[in-house]
């Protein structure tokens, strides 16, 4: 969880970490979780337009200039489009340094927890706070991932505009770590 005030770079930090996991291009100094092969991931904003305008832009670049975001152009193999909103990506295929291909799906958590049901995921990133039922569904998708004894990871980057919610409590629990 990266929880801080507005305009602090939370989204950029989240996009950077997701790009590392998708590509396997970890810097030498990286001490966080590493995936050693291609991953299957979802990223989401509150609404489809926000996912396109913010998350998609940070990861892949502006529409018409895909490959200028955190995922390097040489690693962005292909994309499929969503019907709505216009210029929105549904799925991106990213070259991993291992030779395999990572899959990245774009979602909106305003669609509810049902939109996050399905298969196991190595990584799910929520940019801005989601509801507890969506967060819980993400935990289920990342709990057991084939070939990953520690399961997958859920990343949440947001400003706590709603105060001390269940999602905040899931990370910080009863005020631990609050300054």
- Residues catalogued as catalytic: 128
Three-class DSSP category at 95? strand
Within a 13 Å sphere around the CA of 153, how many CA atoms are in the beta-carbon half? 14
E-strand stretches of the chain: 2-3, 40-45, 76-81, 89-95, 101-108, 123-127, 153-158
Within a 13 Å sphere around the CA of 167, how many CA atoms are in the beta-carbon half? 26
Which runs of consecutive H residues, i.e. helices, occur in the chain? Answer: 10-23, 48-50, 57-60, 132-143, 166-172
CA-closest candidate to residue 121, choices 35, 16, 31 = 35
């Amino acid at each position: 969880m990266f929880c801080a005030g507005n305009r602090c770079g939370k989204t950029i930090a989240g996009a950077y970490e997701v790009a590392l996991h998708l590509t396997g291009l970890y810097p030498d100094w990286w001490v966080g979780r590493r995936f050693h092969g291609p991953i299957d991931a979802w990223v989401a904003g509150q609404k489809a337009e926000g996912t396109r305008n913010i998350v998609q832009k940070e990861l892949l670049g502006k529409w018409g200039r895909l490959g200028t975001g955190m995922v390097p152009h040489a690693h962005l193999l292909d994309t499929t489009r969503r019907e709505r909103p216009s210029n929105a990506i549904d799925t991106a295929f990213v070259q991993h340094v291992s030779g395999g291909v990572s899959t990245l799906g774009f979602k909106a958590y305003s669609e509810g927890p049902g939109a996050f049901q399905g298969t196991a995921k190595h990584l799910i990133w929520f940019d801005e706070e989601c509801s507890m039922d969506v967060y819980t569904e993400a935990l289920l998708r990342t709990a057991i991932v084939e070939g990953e004894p520690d399961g997958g990871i859920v990343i949440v980057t947001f400003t706590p505009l709603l105060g001390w919610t269940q999602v905040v409590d899931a990370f910080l629990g009863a005020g631990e770590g609050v300054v």
